């Protein structure tokens, strides 16, 4: 009936959805260039024609040196960065949706149920206890606070997060503690697709093992995972394949 905000000016609306249902995620020909208007309009091309398809139960590692675009790619898959060109097909409620084409409330819905993201850093909300922050995704899905917190408590226990921290705001927590809250938050929901941005970076050996176990569990449940792992051991243990990025020369 009318035009509501255009989010991806360059996204191509005419792409037909894939036919096959053997994949969970199909990224086709992604392009992304950052334009820094306040620094003389510098153009930084980061992605130029990247494609990736992931099946259920697969874990794909994104590799490459710093600045090669793997983090941009991962964020693009979540819709956090808006690509200039290409298609990101996600199997959402058994139907293919093209992420760059979604209007905001559809993308919110897809993020609620279909695609999860473990970021490196926890966005701390002042005054809100760790337990509540981690329980938010489940509560968004309509679970009661008690139900959601029960799930989180069990994850916190697995991740050896001391119970005395649960009811505190994580503002003053260490990096490792914050990361475990983040992991509990993302692993509490059974997302069919899960994106991991260095999930073990600040964890000790014990907790790293716990995360590896969590990832393995997800894989066996048919989750499609894509991650950046700086820890070679973790990567080799959980990943089925590797997509390697190389930096683009800045034209």
Contact 193, 90 (CB under 8 A): yes
Contact 124, 188 (CB under 8 A): no
Using CB under 8 A as the binding rule, whether residue 82 contacts another protein is answered as: yes
Under 8 Å CB-to-CB from 129, ≥6 apart: which residues?
166, 167, 168, 169
The values of phi and psi at residue 85, to 5°, are: -160, 150
Q: Is 186 left (phi over 0), alpha (psi -120 to 50) or beta?
A: alpha
Contact region with another protein (CB under 8 A), list: 32-40, 186-194, 198-206, 232-240: 32-40
113-132: which residues touch another protein (CB under 8 A)? 123, 125-128
Compute the least distance from the CB of residue 189 to another protein, in Å: 16
Using CB under 8 A as the binding rule, whether residue 209 contacts another protein is answered as: no
Q: Which is nearer to another protein, 9 or 162 (CB)?
A: 9
Using CB under 8 A as the binding rule, whether residue 66 contacts another protein is answered as: no
Contact region with another protein (CB under 8 A), list: 97-105, 159-167, 205-213, 227-235: 97-105
| Interatomic CA distance for residues 228 and 70, integer angstroms | 7
Positions that interact with another protein (CB under 8 A): 1-5, 7, 9, 34-38, 75, 79-82, 103-105, 107-108, 123, 125-128, 139-140
């Amino acid at each position: 009936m009318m035009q509501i905000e255009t989010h991806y000016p360059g996204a191509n609306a005419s792409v037909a959805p894939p036919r096959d249902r053997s994949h969970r995620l199909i990224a086709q020909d992604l392009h992304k260039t950052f334009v820094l208007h306040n620094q003389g309009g510098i153009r930084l091309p980061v992605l130029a024609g990247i494609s990736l398809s992931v099946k259920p139960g697969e874990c794909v590692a994104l590799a490459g040196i710093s600045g090669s675009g793997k983090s941009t790619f991962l964020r693009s898959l979540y819709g956090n960065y808006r690509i200039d060109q290409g298609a990101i097909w996600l199997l959402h409620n058994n139907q293919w949706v093209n992420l760059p084409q979604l209007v905001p409330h559809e993308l919110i819905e897809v993020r609620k149920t279909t695609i999860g993201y473990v970021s490196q850093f926890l966005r701390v909300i002042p005054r809100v206890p760790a337990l509540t922050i981690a329980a938010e995704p489940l509560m968004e899905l309509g679970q009661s606070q008690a139900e959601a917190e029960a799930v989180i408590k069990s994850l916190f226990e697995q991740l050896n997060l001391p119970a005395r921290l649960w009811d505190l705001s994580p503002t003053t927590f260490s990096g490792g503690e914050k990361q475990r809250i983040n992991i509990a938050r993302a692993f509490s929901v059974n997302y069919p697709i899960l994106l991991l941005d260095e999930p073990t970076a600040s964890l000790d050996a014990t907790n790293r093992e716990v995360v590896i176990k969590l990832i393995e569990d997800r894989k066996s449940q048919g989750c499609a995972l894509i991650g950046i792992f700086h820890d070679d051991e973790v990567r080799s243990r959980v990943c089925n394949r590797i997509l390697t990025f190389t930096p683009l020369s800045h034209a």
